Structure 1
Amino acid sequence: MAITVRELAQALDARAWGDLDLPVTGAAEPAATDPVGPQGGTIAMAMAPKYAAALKPGSIAILAEGMDPEALGLRAAILAQRPRLLMAGLTRAFDPGPGIAPGIHPTAIVDPSATIGPDAAIGPFVVIGAGVRIGQGARIGPHVSIGRGTAVGDDALIHAGVRIAHGVTAGDRLIVQPGAVIGGDGFSFVTPEESGIEEIRRTLGSRDAIRQQHWTRIHSLGGVEIGDDVEIGANATIDRGTIRATRVGNGTKIDNLVMLGHNVVVGDDCLLCSQVGIAGSSRVGNRVVLAGQVGVNDNIEIGDDVIAGGASKIFTRVPAGRVILGNPAVRMETQMEIQKAMRRLPRFAQQLAKLQEAVTRLLEKG
């Protein structure tokens, strides 16, 4: 695939400079990009001055506005006010996708009651259950299974090995990476008498007696509801609700290895990074960012526009707009002061030891 610099700039709604008829065949980092020949070449993503040193004279590059392509010896350039946003359009233009052939592969098993939208592509060894609805233009990769009564919207892309259980509803333009599981049972169990967990929650740690316990499953009757433009990473898991559905709002992006427990509600346009875990029945507002390895306790609420730094552990309600960090999570500025104080502790301990020695000597003399 090759398009000209002019065509690419027009598609990205960005300003172009230089020889606009040069073909662009792909994208690469500056050091891996050679000067372009008659057949064109790759475009370098030198989106800040610190990357420009690796550019080779005679190449093509994406630059930030204010950088000088002529001084860098380039043959052509595309300039943007926000280069990283332009990079999103560029990578989309050159992404070939998973290459799922149109139509239904002969090895796929599709229940006769399922509805497959026009222009959908169903790959090898896919299993689609009774009453499933697949939207138009959807692409379903090999070895995907979709359970009874589930609905997947238009233009979805479900990669290889995904498991979508029964009773899941997903909107348009859903992207699910390999190995994700949507709609597995929630982790809900109960004991005939008060369990040890319930006891220590009530007493805040003390225990009257330790006795045998038998766990009885609480079945998950709710489904999973997923909005439009949601992305779900590889090996992420979203449990179905107990009675009501687990929900993920429009535009939310979920990274690899994220876990959403039963009855969790996640708002619109959230960003949940790798290894985030949200325990059952917690609610996450709109535009919330949870960095890698953030843990969220059960039955709490996180307000809109909260940002939680990496490895934070959230045990209580977080008001809207707050930036938090640490274990337990507190305001980021408070956590910074805590870390400074902790670094001073060895010195304080030495000073205290010296003071104790001085006091002891004074008492002995007295």
Structure 2
Amino acid sequence: MALTIGDLAKALQAESWGDETRVVTGAAEPGATTANQIALAMAPKYAAGLRKGDMAILAQGMDPAEYGLSSAIFATRPRLLMAGLTSAFDPGPEIEPGIHPTAIIHDSATIGKGAAIGPYVVIGSDVRIGANARIAEHVSIGKGTVIGDDVLILPGVRISHGVKAGDRWIVQSGAVIGSDGFSFVTAEESGVEEIRRTLGHRDSAGKQHWTRIHSLGGVEIGDDVEIGAGSTVDRGTIRATRIGSGTKLDNLVHIGHNVVVGQDCLLCGQVGIAGSSRLGDRVVLAGQCGVSDNIEIGDDVIAGGSTKIYTRVPAGRVVLGNPAVKMETQLEIQKATRRLPRMAEKLSQLQESVTKLLEKG
């Protein structure tokens, strides 16, 4: 795709400078640009690699003439502008229009207008797929699943039966949507139930046999949701597991059965949410966060990396650590922990002094 600097600035709703007729076909870091690529130097610390005659995206307040540029676009919010820029130049996956002859589609399935379905895709009975869907190779979609318009499903995705997903859904390679929930029960009280009741004391260790609880619920996904590579979303036991509109899942995220995730949440890599927990809207869980089962997390909560959440978190709180506490509390805990070696040394010296005094006494 090729745009002029002027056209690109208009598309990004940004201000341009210099020669607006220069053609842009892509973007690169300063010092790594080739012909017709625009350099991304959206802070002064990134501008050192700029070369004379380059075209670049700069932050407001930077002087293009100082760097010898021929053209520039100014970013008021650099990462937001980068979102528009990368969208403009992303060619997307190569999925041929129409239905590939190796695809297997049940006669009862409904495929929307303008859909592109790649090689070796398998679509089950009573599936409904919206208009302009793009489905890459080796995807399988189970019976009765309903998928909205303008979705992008990448290679090797597995979508089970009875899934409902909205418009503009993006699913990265290898994700599994609608696998069975991890639900098992024992005839007698299990060891897990016992230690929850006794808070760790074990009286009745012995044989126990796990019996499967089947997953009769489905998965419901809103509009504009993205699911990363290798992520899994379990179906509900009776009611559906739900993910709200606008929510984004990174790679290797696991959503357990019956979980409800609100709108516009951000769940980073290796987050795990155990069964029947509920997340409000705009929740951010950084990488490797874990949420125990049946936990409620309020709106606008932010959890730092590797936080482990075992109890309810009220709306708006920022938490960190294992177990999760307020971030400022965790920072004080970390400071105190670093002081422990000095405190231990001083305590040893005090003990030695007291012992000597007692011996003299």
Tell me the TM-score normalised to structure 2 length. Answer: 0.99
Letter in 1 for 2:277: S
Paired residues of 1:178 and 1:235 also in contact (CA < 8 A)? yes
The secondary structure found in structure 1 opposite 2:67 is coil
Compute the displacement of 1:215 (Å): 0.3
Matching residue of 1:13: 13
Matching residue of 1:327: 322
* CA distance in structure 2 between the aligned counterparts of 1:31 and 1:253, rounded to whole angstroms: 33
The secondary structure found in structure 2 opposite 1:161 is coil
Compute the displacement of 1:205 (Å): 0.6
Q: How many residues are paired up?
A: 361
The secondary structure found in structure 2 opposite 1:182 is strand
- 1:126-150: CA deviations, max 9, x gaps? 0000000100000000000000000
Compute the displacement of 1:167 (Å): 0.4
Matching residue of 1:30: 30
2:210 pairs with 1:224: no
* CA distance in structure 2 between the aligned counterparts of 1:297 and 1:31, rounded to whole angstroms: 47
Stretches of structure 1 that go unaligned for 5 or more consecutive residues are none
Matching residue of 1:363: 358
* Match of residue 282, structure 1, among 257, 277, 284: 277
* CA distance in structure 2 between the aligned counterparts of 1:102 and 1:88, rounded to whole angstroms: 26
Compute the displacement of 1:209 (Å): 1.9
Q: RMSD of the TM alignment (CA)?
A: 0.7
* CA distance in structure 2 between the aligned counterparts of 1:100 and 1:295, rounded to whole angstroms: 36
Letter in 1 for 2:52: P
Matching residue of 1:117: 112
- 1:111-164: CA deviations, max 9, x gaps? 000000000000000000000010000000000000000011100000000000
Identical aligned residues as a percent: 75
* CA distance in structure 2 between the aligned counterparts of 1:301 and 1:316, rounded to whole angstroms: 8
Matching residue of 2:128: 133
Matching residue of 1:3: 3
The secondary structure found in structure 1 opposite 2:31 is helix
2:310 pairs with 1:300: no
Compute the displacement of 1:364 (Å): 1.2
Compute the displacement of 1:33 (Å): 1.5
- 1:13-51: CA deviations, max 9, x gaps? 1111111111101111112025x5xxxx10011111110
* CA distance in structure 1 between the aligned counterparts of 2:16 and 2:51, rounded to whole angstroms: 18
Compute the displacement of 1:363 (Å): 1.1
1:58-77 to structure 2, matched below 5 A, reads 58-77=53-72
Compute the displacement of 1:303 (Å): 0.5
Letter in 2 for 1:153: G
- 1:325-362: CA deviations, max 9, x gaps? 00001000000000000000001101111111111111
* CA distance in structure 2 between the aligned counterparts of 1:60 and 1:191, rounded to whole angstroms: 67
The secondary structure found in structure 2 opposite 1:268 is coil
* CA distance in structure 1 between the aligned counterparts of 2:334 and 2:119, rounded to whole angstroms: 54
Paired residues of 1:232 and 1:254 also in contact (CA < 8 A)? yes
Paired residues of 2:179 and 2:233 also in contact (CA < 8 A)? yes
2:308 pairs with 1:313: yes
2:144 pairs with 1:149: yes
Paired residues of 1:33 and 1:55 also in contact (CA < 8 A)? no
The secondary structure found in structure 2 opposite 1:30 is coil
* Match of residue 185, structure 1, among 169, 174, 180: 180
2:162 pairs with 1:167: yes
* Match of residue 97, structure 1, among 89, 92, 99: 92
* Match of residue 228, structure 2, among 233, 236, 240: 233
Tell me the TM-score normalised to structure 1 length. Answer: 0.98
The secondary structure found in structure 1 opposite 2:143 is coil
2:236 pairs with 1:245: no
Letter in 1 for 2:143: R
Compute the displacement of 1:55 (Å): 0.7
